[in-house]
Structure 1
Amino acid sequence: MTHRGHRGDAAGEAVQATQAVPVDPAASMSLLNSLLANPLDAGYEHYRADHGSRPASLAGKIGVFAVAVALGFGSIVATSSLRAPAGDVKSDLKTQASQRSATVEALNDDVQSLGRAIDQYSQSGSGAASDPAQDMVTATTPVHGPGITVTLTDRSGPGKGSGTVRDQDLAMVVNALWAAGADAISINGQRIGPDTFVRTAGSAILVNVTPVSSPYEVRAIGDSNALSVSLVRGATGDYLSAAQSVTGMTVSSKVSDNITMEALTLTDSHYATPVGASNEGGSS
């Protein structure tokens, strides 16, 4: 009985001791609280204690200041270099525009002077002596001689491609014959002169203002051998071969001992005058 009473007293004292000690509800969060309160490792604390209290040297401060000044100066230089080319480009464009404008004006003056010279040579009854070479260039006189006839024909039946001859096909042949040394050229009897144009208008091809149709006979007076070779070699030969394959048209040529061409029919030039100038002329 005595032993049991002693053990009972000891258990009671242990319970009282346990109840007397307060229990911290956040005891299980002590590790997390320690990390939040002191995030640095202990090694950092020792390094800070050994080196953190040392004041920065004067040389270090000067070095930092020099680096900062260099970075600032470099930023200013870079900004200036980025802004400078814009002004240079604008000035260059203005200079080029003024130069091109001057070139265009000079070319316009040349065109006008050449046009006046052509009018003087082409006008009939002028006091100037007739120049055979100039008459040949301006196509103002009839001409005859040996040469070749190049015939371009639309495809008659169905097949691949449109089958029609285009204005660029005729222009390619005419330019090749001129380059080969032709003295005179005509298309379906229409003499080719300095102002002649070959253009498509609807379903017809116009030579100057006269419509022509297939077959298109391009006649050229000159060295027949040179003229024939110009159509089968180089870029012209490749173009005509490809055109025949794509469109389905046919191209043929023959040498003629004597080809006759009429002179180009000249048209009168009409010039516009300002309304003010015409009124002043009428009032005077």
Structure 2
Amino acid sequence: MTLLNEVLERPLDLGYAAASEARRQGTARPATPVRRGLTFLLALVLGLTAVWAARELRTPAGVETASDVLVAQIRERSATGEELMAQNTALRGEIAELQEQALGTEAEELLELTERIGSAVGTTAVEGPGMVVTLSDSASANSGEPDAEYGRVRDVDLQLVVNGLWASGAEAIAVNGHRLTAQTAIRTAGDAILVDLQPMISPYRIEAIGDPDGMRTQFARTQAAGFLNFLAAQASISSSVERADELRLAAGTSLAPSLVTESS
């Protein structure tokens, strides 16, 4: 209550009250140009210091944003995944050689059939001509501008393009080097797109092996081609469709048969 009474009865600070009384009695020190200049400089320095402190508090130097940390983790995990995929491919090659040695020439037809089936389902590395479709997030989304999430490539965008390539006659497809199989899923987890649980980041390079000329002609007639134009016009998501004379797609994850157990 004492503080409230003091504020209500004497709202003017004691220092201001004394200065006002001195001016009223004519005993106040005169405001010379030098004093005014020093006061102005002091106020300017204090103002600049306050602005600098506010900016430093708002954007601390050297502190990464959550998006930067996520992208760095995705790149690190992607590099690790690529190394493991390369090791897996090498092991598959060794297994194939051991199978040939064990079965001999009598099982050449069986080995050829196994290779054709593996190529179709995505568990065998393939190479040949084809086409490449690339999608990239918009410049505003890459710079982290507010309300720019609509400029990011979504999982449904990749799904539509991949389905369009399959419909155009693609024999094998990979997204950012990850081979698609019959069980591959393209989903979103936060800001990242997962292809068979592997995180992908922009730009998204979709490679498809097949007849380049026939695929480009058929792809231009699909819904995916028109959708790419829509993304460019409405969300500034850039895309390109290019012919590739030689592509090599690594083998995908082997399909594990499901085990069914009977309970008594």
- State TM-score, norm by structure 2: 0.52
1:200 aligns with 2:188: yes
Equivalent pair of 2:174/2:206 in contact (CA under 8 Å): yes
Name the residue aligned to 1:109: none
TM alignment of 1:42-191, pairs within 5 A: 129-130=110-111, 131=113, 132-157=115-140, 162-191=150-179
Aligned-residue offset at 1:230: 3.4
Change (3 A) 1:172 1:230: farther
CA distance in 1, matches of 2:199, 2:149: 23
Structure 2 CA distance, aligned partners of 1:161 and 1:233?
Answer: 29
| Aligned twin of 1:231 | 219
Q: Over residues 166-210 of structure 1, what are the superposed CA-to-partner deviations in whole Å (9 max), with x where a residue is unaligned?
A: 111111111111111111100001101111111111111111111
Q: 1:153 to 1:134 in 2, by over 3 A?
A: same
1:241 to 222, 229, 237: 229
Q: What runs of 5+ residues in structure 1 fail to find an aligned partner?
A: 1-122, 278-284
The alpha-carbon deviation at position 253 of structure 1 amounts to: 1.8
Residue 151 of structure 2 aligns to a residue whose secondary structure is coil
Which of 226, 241, 245 lines up with 1:253 in the alignment?
241
Structure 2 distance, partners of 1:169, 1:230, is 18
Which runs of structure 1 show a deviation greater than 3 angstroms over 4 or more consecutive aligned residues?
A: 123-128, 158-161, 267-274
Q: Report the CA distance between 1:270 and its aligned residue.
A: 5.5
| Counterpart-to-counterpart distance in 2, 1:217 and 1:244 | 16
Residue 161 of structure 1 contacts residue 248 of structure 1 at CA under 8 Å; is this kept in 2?
Answer: no
Measured in 1, the distance between the counterparts of 2:244 and 2:139 equals 26
Larger relative contact order (Cα-Cα within 8 Å, sequence gap ≥ 6): 2
- Residue 214 of structure 1 corresponds to 202
Number of the residue aligned with 1:74 = none
Contact 2:183/2:255 (CA < 8 Å) preserved in 1?
no
CA RMSD of aligned residues (A): 2.7
Counterpart Cα distance in 2 of 1:233 and 1:178: 13
Alignment of 1:265 with 2:263, yes or no, is no
> Residue 272 of structure 1: CA displacement?
6.1
SS of 1:141's partner is coil
Q: Verify the 8 A CA contact 1:191 1:263 in the aligned structure 2.
A: yes
Cα pair 1:147 1:223 within 8 Å, conserved: yes
Structure 1 residue 161: Cα displacement: 6.6
Report the count of equivalent residues.
154
Q: Percent identity?
A: 34
Stretch deviating more after TM superposition (128-137 or 203-212): 128-137
What is the CA–CA distance in structure 2 between the aligned matches of 1:206 and 1:154, rounded to whole Å?
16
Give the match's secondary structure for 1:145. Answer: strand
Larger Rg: 1
Other structure's SS at 2:248 match = strand
Is the contact between residue 231 and residue 238 of structure 2 (CA under 8 Å) also seen in structure 1?
Answer: no
Mark the CA change 1:265 to 1:198 in structure 2 (over 3 Å): closer, same or farther. same
Contact 1:149 1:256 in 2 (8 A): yes
**Contact 2:133/2:242, CA 8 A, preserved across alignment:** yes
How many angstroms apart in 1 are the aligned matches of 2:240 and 2:148?
19
Amino acid at match of 2:211: D
> Do the aligned partners of residues 199 and 161 (structure 1) sit closer, same or farther apart at CA in structure 2, a change above 3 Å counting?
closer
Contact 1:188–1:216 (Cα < 8 Å) also in 2:
yes
> Which secondary structure does the structure 2 equivalent of 1:200 belong to?
strand
Q: Is the 8 A contact 1:147 1:224 kept in 2?
A: yes
